Structure 1
Amino acid sequence: MSRETDGLRGPERRRQDIADVVLSAGSVTAAELAERFGVSLMTIHRDLDELERQGIVRKHRGGVTAQPSGVFESNVAYRVKSMRPAKEAIAARAAELVEPGMAVMLDDSTTALALARRLTGITPLTVVTNFLQALNLLADERDVRLMALGGDYDPLHDSFLGMSCVDAIEQLNVDLCFVSTSAVSGGYAYHQEQRIVSVKRAMLGAASTGVLLLDHSKLNRVALHRVAPLSAFDRLIVDDGADPGALRELDEHKVAYDLAAT
């Protein structure tokens, strides 16, 4: 791509294209991006600074990544694309727990979004969620009573968070709550962001049965904040790609878990 062509496209379009590349690849160097888009390293770094400010990517020495760390959560656009077969398997197993007439709460995880796609065949149903993508997915379903949890909109997660969201959750009582976290280790579930932790804890407190949805990449990892001990969940569903050592650790902590076949 030439500099002239890029100039016609404008910096906003270039930044969108850079974001698409990073979200697809997971990680890439600044030099690779400069060569690909035909602009200077200085220009690429300015673009990456803006994308980082928007919470889409995270810069590191020499490059940029969309992948999570123990402190930073990935953008929802990246999470939707990652571990898809595992998430679909987990969602299929989770859907078996749902019965017509139930009230079900979903968090803003992309694994819960995979479950939301399967709820349309299990009706009538009440679904409560703070995840905008799940709300849009279920909005036209006639036999789904949809309850939106309000709050401060967060574009990084495409969901509603904050104290008003927590307050709304605490006024409810649902049959099932499905949540996911970023990491599990030593008998605890973890997440990188405190504002997410408070919402997940409230959801667990509002449910008769709490289910943790977890793809195997999150086992034997930690993040900044403890969400809850695994004993706070009635069941954990993980895909069958889980390492035997990680499953032994779950057994040692007497965690009830189901293996979802991919």
Structure 2
Amino acid sequence: MTTTGAEARRQIITEHVLKHGTASGAELAELTRVSLMTVHRDLDELARRGVLRRFRGGVSALPSTVFESNLDYRLGVNTAEKEAIAKTAADLVEPGTSVLLDDSTTALALARLLVDQAPLTVVTNARRVIDLFAGHEDIRLISLGGEYSHTHDSFLGVPCLEAVEALSLDMVLVSTSAMDARMTYHQEQDVVLVKRAMLASGTRKVLLMDRTKLARTALHRLAPVEDFDHLVVDDGVGGELLTSLRERTDVRVASTG
């Protein structure tokens, strides 16, 4: 099969797994009408690119304590909650200030709202946020360079760290993959290092978290909840967890209604 055919098949596999969360090798072989051996080669390549995660007998787009989901998968889940959180967070941002947005899908939802709150200085390592603000005359856009990550569609690594450490910003708005009542977490060390540097660069720190990320942990600790000036969650968070979080920081609850 030609390279073009292989790429088309891998796109079909990717779209199927992003839609369903997981799939077996046999299921994907039937879907694409190729041999199981060919499917396994496709899955090896997609895993190498960070698009999907291999497990025994199949492949997954779902997060775990040691693997983060691909950006395309995260863009398609919990969209109402992310949009509500973004709307509430946008009220914290004042025109004329400098803000840093990380490469999370919730920050991308926020970026779409901030286009109308110019003038702003926006700093980001997220390619899609860069594309969103590029060309807006009233937005001063600073792109953080680094090594490109297919999984996150953003820039990470030492060059990104060094660029962040050279800045001092009015507000930093980030999300991460997991948190409990005391601590925030992420699966990947490179992401943790960049997010820590981002938080250190900001006068005010805002954490954006939908309910699916709460009461969970991941491999690496990011920062204590009390290090954030504000936490914005959706109205699916409540009970003892919400009470505990409010003991540690200012919590804003976004309505999804």
**Above 0.5 in TM-score?**
yes
- Amino acid aligned to 1:208: T
C-alpha distance in 1, partners of 2:237/2:189? 27
User: Which residue of 225, 232, 257 corresponds with 2:251?
Assistant: 257
Tell me the distance in 1 between the aligned counterparts of 2:243 and 2:96. 36
- Which residue identity is paired with 1:120? V
Residue 225 (structure 2) aligned to one of 223, 227, 230: 230
Matched, 1:139 2:134: yes
Question: In the TM superposition, what are the counterparts of 1:80-99 in structure 2 within 5 Å?
Answer: 80-99=75-94
TM-score by length of 1: 0.93
- Structure 2: segments with no counterpart, 5+ residues: none
Percent of counterpart pairs with the same letter?
Answer: 54
Letter in 2 for 1:47: D
Call closer, same or farther: CA 1:8–1:114 in 2, change over 3 Å. Answer: closer
Distance 2:119 2:44 in 1: 47
Question: Could you tell me how far apart the structure 1 residues matched to 2:189 and 2:98 are?
Answer: 26
Distance of 2:3 and 2:199 partners within structure 1: 51
CA distance in 2, matches of 1:8, 1:184: 42
Letter in 2 for 1:124: P
For 1:176, give the aligned amino acid: M
**Change beyond 3 A, Cα 1:257–1:30:** same
Shift of 1:254: 2.5
Equivalent pairs, count: 256
Residue deviations 1:77-105 (CA, integer Å, cap 9, x gap): 11111111111000000000111101010
In 2, are the aligned partners of 1:59 and 1:65 still within 8 Å (CA)? yes
One-letter amino acid matched to 1:187: R
Give the aligned partner of residue 3 of structure 1. none
Q: CA RMSD in A?
A: 1.6
Cα deviation, residue 186, structure 1: 4.2
Q: Distance in 2 between matches of 1:254 and 1:138?
A: 34
Quick one: structure 1 residues 72 and 139, their matched pair in 2 at CA, closer, same or farther if it must change by over 3 Å?
same
The alignment status of 1:178 with 2:173, answered yes or no, reads: yes
Q: Name 1:125's counterpart in structure 2.
A: 120
Show CA shifts across 1:99-158 (max 9, x none): 110101001111000000001110111100011110011102111110111111112111
Is 1:166 matched with 2:161? yes
Q: Secondary structure at the match of 2:64?
A: coil
Q: Distance in 1 between the 2:158 and 2:32 partners?
A: 42
SS of the aligned residue for 2:173 comes to strand
Q: Which amino acid aligns with 1:259?
A: V
Deviations 1:189-247 (A, max 9, x none): 00011111111111111111000000100101000100000111001001111252432
Give the partner amino acid of 1:257.
Answer: V
Q: Is the 8 A contact 2:181 2:241 kept in 1?
A: no
Question: In structure 2, the residue corresponding to 1:145 is in which secondary structure?
Answer: strand
How far did 1:40 drift? Answer: 2.1
Q: Which runs of 5+ in 1 are unaligned?
A: 1-5
